[in-house]
Amino acid sequence: MLKIDDLHVAVGPEDNRAEIIRGLTLEVPAGEVHAIMGPNGSGKSTLSYAVAGRDGYEATAGAVTLEGEDILGLDPNERAAKGLFLSFQHPMEIPGVQTMNFIRTAMNAQRKARGEDEISAADFIRLVREKAKLVGLDDAKLKRPFNVGFSGGEKKRMEMLQLAMFEPRFAIMDETDSGLDIDALKMVGEVVNALRGPDRGFLVITHYQRLLEYIRPDRVHVLAGGRIVKSGGASLAAELEKSGYEQFIEAA
Amino acid sequence: MTNASARPTPFAKAIETDYRNRSATNAMQSAAYDRYGRLGLPNRRVEGWKWSDFSAALRGDAPANDAAPVETIPPSPFATLEPLEIQIVDGRVLAPDAARLEGFEFGVIEPGAPDQDFDNHSLVALNIALTRRAFGFRVAGGAIIDRAVHIRHINKRPGYVFSQILGRAEEGSRVTIIETFEGCATFHSAMHHLSVYKGAEVSRYVLHDADADAVTHGFFGGMVGEDARFRQTSLSTGGRLCRHETHLLYPAAIGFSDVAGAALVAGDRHSDFTTQVRFRAPGGEARQLHKGVASKKGRNVFQGKFHVERAAQKTDAKMTANALLLSDGAEANHKPELEIYADDVECAHGSTVGALDDDALFYLRQRGLSEGEARALLIEAFAGEVIDGIDDAGVRDVFAARVAAWLEEQQ
């Protein structure tokens, strides 16, 4: 489904670029959930930005395909319309932007790009209410400007709300667990598990094993020094929790 | 004039002719004319005019003399609010004779002068000297005027235009005044004086939506009386040189004002919002917010000043100016000033200038918005802080629609 082949990504100012992703290869087949674990600075967020198409995170070499289609040449919004969703590690506050209006505009922009009809106002309200309940955000929060005055946990709930609403084909979850309590982790697990299915894939980027107790991955990869240095089954996460990342930092 | 030795400009000649051809001038007007003669047009070397040089802007050719064919007046975007509409067309006041509004007296009156001392302001002097007839209104004490009053400044042909509005909102009255600037004059000097007496409340909304070539100087002088409340929201799309000044005086205790302005300037348009609040008595409160968006070679100016006199203890005044620059050639000039002689006051000002936030842009695009849509949403949000502050839902809708239309024009 999502295939990353020998990806290289350099970031930083023109005259001082640093290669952060250095020949990363990874494939997440449809229907699977893969986890990427790794120490700080291993390139986890750079990978998610590069796949989502952020300016300044362009690939210098390699390929990324979503269901066989090369996405590296696409704008971020085109990738989103193809069904790629990124749950941000640090979702920002956007003052002045009305939450409901924004989500609906985004949803319709994606639909339009796919040649689908817009969602009606009534259907949208119904959907947003239903999903807000699922992720534990009350109506008052939806009436606020986007994420303004939200706690870290509430911002993550807003990410999950959008994940649940957009039902993307492939979701990258960049340290969604950071700053979440047990109840919120459970909620994230519920949202993701409800969406799991044969046509959908997930890449869960995390530092710790605990989220993976709620989202059981099919494969776990260790990212260090900009490449995958080890892959294994779900049990690898538990092993890492015990032995730490030291060994990989040296290996990379 | 400052450049008396230089060859007179077409503007100077026209002003001279206009003044000499008058059948009658009173002492106030001739004194004002002399004052203007001494001061000349403000230029960049004069304090407060560094970024808005009217002398340079009016150096050009005289406007073509042939009157443009009479056009119909376009409908106003505020028409759906069914306001009492007053038109000032090329400086001539067209007040509807038949219209009546309980508690609101109005008509065409003799021009006047500000209550406050603006002796060093040459454009005020020029306006006093040359305005022929003024629009006057009086809101009777205790009158609550539910219907908005819309004063339209419509300039339909080239020329030098001088207009005046002289108003008073008497004790405990309440009124909403909408003022729009439309069309284009070679130069339009619009003066408005309003006294808001004890306990009265006035909301003033200014929509400056003139042509790209417009050169405008709007001057609003307000007296905020005891326990009076004055609110103003302005939206300007600028012009060749457009400056709107708001001067408020608090002669009595616990006055309140909230002055907000948004400017959206594209092309090589220029917008200048200059405000000054003078606190003369205790317990005054003032809020000011300015949001300027400039694209291409647009230029926004904001100059704000709180002047707190010794007697004005417990003054509470805050001023914020934020500028958004959408391209390398765009410009923002801010000059916030505090001049405080009282020792127990709370006065603050803040000023920021920046580009659109890359993090927010990427976020919106990741959710499916195109670059253009994401930028428009963020710009709308930036200006929205001013627009959302408008209490009157009907007026707010018109302002919001103008912002949305401006964003469309930029696509």
Q: Could you tell me if B364 lies within 8 Å of chain A, comparing CB atoms?
A: yes
Pair of tokens at residue A217 = 């991955």
Give yes or no for a contact between B281 and B251, defined as CB atoms under 8 angstroms apart: yes
- pLDDT > 80? residue B203: yes
Please name the residues in contact with A159: beta carbons below 8 A apart, sequence gap of 6 or more. Answer: A87, A88, A91, A176
Burial B199-236 (b: 16+ CB within 10 A, else e): bbbbbbbbbbbbeeebbbbbbbbbbbbbbbbbbbbbbb
Determine the pLDDT at residue B64: 67
DSSP letter, residue B61: P
The helix (H) or strand (E) run that includes residue B229 is: strand B229-236
Q: Do A95 and B366 touch (CB under 8 A)?
A: no
What residue type is assigned to position B122 of the chain? S
Q: Could you tell me if B104 lies within 8 Å of chain A, comparing CB atoms?
A: no
Q: How many CA atoms lie within 13 A of A214 on its CB side?
A: 21
Q: Do B359 and A92 touch (CB under 8 A)?
A: yes
How many Cβ atoms from other residues are within 10 Å of residue A73's Cβ? 9
Distance of CA A147 to the CA centre of its chain: 18
Determine the pLDDT at residue B154: 95
- pLDDT > 80? residue B164: yes
Which of the residues A46, A94, A128, A165 would you substitute to probe the B interface, choosing the one with the greatest number of B C-beta atoms within 10 Å? A94
Is residue B61 exposed (0-12), middle (13-18) or buried (19+ Cβ within 10 Å)?
A: exposed
Give yes or no for a contact between B92 and B250, defined as CB atoms under 8 angstroms apart: no
Q: Per residue, what are the HEC states of A198-240?
A: CCCEEEEEECCCHHHHCCCCCEEEEEECCEEEEEECCHHHHHH
Q: What percent of chain A lies above the pLDDT cut of 90?
A: 86
Of B381, B385, B388, the CB nearest to A94: B381
Q: Which residues of B touch A54 (CB under 8 A)?
A: 362, 366
Give chain B's mean pLDDT. 93
- The Cα B381–Cα B369 span in angstroms is 15
| Residue of B199, B200, B239, B193 whose CA lies nearest to B217 | B239
Q: Do B362 and A76 touch (CB under 8 A)?
A: yes
- pLDDT > 60? residue B4: no
Pair of tokens at residue A98 = 């009305």
Q: Which residues of B touch A77 (CB under 8 A)?
A: 365-371, 374
- pLDDT > 60? residue B250: yes
Determine the pLDDT at residue B1: 46
- Report the pLDDT averaged over residues B202-229: 97
Q: Could you tell me if B5 lies within 8 Å of chain A, comparing CB atoms?
A: no
Of A77, A91, A105, the CB nearest to B365: A77
Q: Per residue, what are the HEC states of A11-36?
A: ECCHHHCEEEEEEEEEEECCCCEEEE
How many Cβ atoms from other residues are within 10 Å of residue A78's Cβ? 17
Backbone angles phi, psi at A235, to 5 degrees: -70, -20
Which of the residues A11, A54, A71 would you substitute to probe the B interface, choosing the one with the greatest number of B C-beta atoms within 10 Å? A54
Closest residue on chain A to B378 (Cα): A97
Which of the residues B361, B365, B378 would you substitute to probe the A interface, choosing the one with the greatest number of A C-beta atoms within 10 Å? B365
Give yes or no for a contact between B279 and B249, defined as CB atoms under 8 angstroms apart: no
Determine the pLDDT at residue B69: 56
- In B17-148 the beta strands, taken as DSSP E runs, fall at 84-89, 92-94, 104-109, 134-139
Length of chain B: 411
Which of 3.40.50.300, 3.30.565.10, 3.30.470.10, 3.30.390.50 is the CATH number of A2-251?
3.40.50.300
Give yes or no for a contact between A164 and A176, defined as CB atoms under 8 angstroms apart: no
pLDDT digits (tens, 9 = 90+) for B219-229: 999 999 999 99
Give yes or no for a contact between A20 and A223, defined as CB atoms under 8 angstroms apart: no
Pair of tokens at residue A46 = 């750079």
The full set of domain ranges for chain A reads 2-251
pLDDT digits (tens, 9 = 90+) for B59-107: 987 776 566 655 788 899 999 999 999 999 999 998 776 778 999 999 9
Q: Do B366 and A107 touch (CB under 8 A)?
A: no
A-B CB pairs within 8 A amount to 76
- The Cα A179–Cα A89 span in angstroms is 10
Q: Which residues of A touch B293 (CB under 8 A)?
A: none
Strand B270-279 relative to strand A145-146, pairing? unpaired
Which of the residues B363, B385, B403 would you substitute to probe the A interface, choosing the one with the greatest number of A C-beta atoms within 10 Å? B363
Give yes or no for a contact between A220 and A236, defined as CB atoms under 8 angstroms apart: yes
Tell me the β-bridge partners of B169: B139, B196
Q: Which residue has the tokens 């259907």?
A: A123
Tell me the β-bridge partners of B271: B242, B300
Closest residue on chain A to B358 (Cα): A55
Q: Could you tell me if A172 lies within 8 Å of chain B, comparing CB atoms?
A: no
DSSP letter, residue B376: H
pTM over 0.90: yes
Pair of tokens at residue B130 = 């040359």
| Strand, coil or helix: A59 | strand
Q: Chain A closest CA to B291's CA: distance in Å?
A: 13
Is residue B65 exposed (0-12), middle (13-18) or buried (19+ Cβ within 10 Å)?
A: exposed
Q: Could you tell me if A107 lies within 8 Å of chain B, comparing CB atoms?
A: yes
Backbone angles phi, psi at A168, to 5 degrees: -70, 160
Please name the residues in contact with B180: beta carbons below 8 A apart, sequence gap of 6 or more. Answer: B76, B78, B150, B151, B152, B153, B206, B207, B208, B209
ipTM: 0.96
Q: Which residues of A touch B357 (CB under 8 A)?
A: 92
Of B357, B360, B370, the CB nearest to A77: B370
Q: Could you tell me if A76 lies within 8 Å of chain B, comparing CB atoms?
A: yes
Q: Do A109 and B385 touch (CB under 8 A)?
A: no
Count of helices and strands (H, E) across chain B:
7, 19
Q: Per residue, what are the HEC states of chain B?
A: CCCCCCCCCHHHHHHHHHHHCCCCCCHHHHHHHHHHHHHCCCCCCCCCCCCCCHHHHCCCCCCCCCCCCCCCCCCCCCHHHCCEEEEEECCEEECCCCCCECCEEEEEECCCCCCCCCCCCHHHHHHHHHCCCEEEEEECCCCECCCCEEEEEEECCCCEEEEEEEEEECCCCEEEEEEEEEECCCEEEEEEEEEECCCCEEEEEEEEEECCCCEEEEEEEEEECCCCEEEEEEEECCECEEEEEEEEEECCCCCEEEEEEEEEECCCCEEEEEEEEEECCCCCEEEEEEEEEECCCCEEEEEEEEEECCCCCCCEEEEEEEEEECCCCCEEEEEEEEEECCCCCEEEEEEEEECCCHHHHHHHHHCCCCHHHHHHHHHHHHHHHHHCCCCCHHHHHHHHHHHHHHHHHHC
Give chain A's mean pLDDT. 93
Length of chain A: 252
Residue-by-residue pLDDT tens, chain A, 252 positions: 999 999 999 999 888 899 999 999 999 999 999 999 988 888 999 999 999 999 999 999 999 999 999 999 999 999 999 999 999 999 999 998 999 999 999 999 999 999 999 999 999 999 999 999 999 999 899 999 999 999 999 999 999 999 999 999 999 999 999 889 999 999 999 999 999 999 999 999 998 888 999 999 999 999 999 999 999 999 998 888 888 887 776 655
Of B364, B365, B381, the CB nearest to A95: B381
- The Cα A16–Cα B54 span in angstroms is 47
Q: Chain B closest CA to A95's CA: distance in Å?
A: 7
The full set of domain ranges for chain B reads 10-63+76-410
Q: Which residues of A touch B352 (CB under 8 A)?
A: none
Q: Could you tell me if B360 lies within 8 Å of chain A, comparing CB atoms?
A: yes
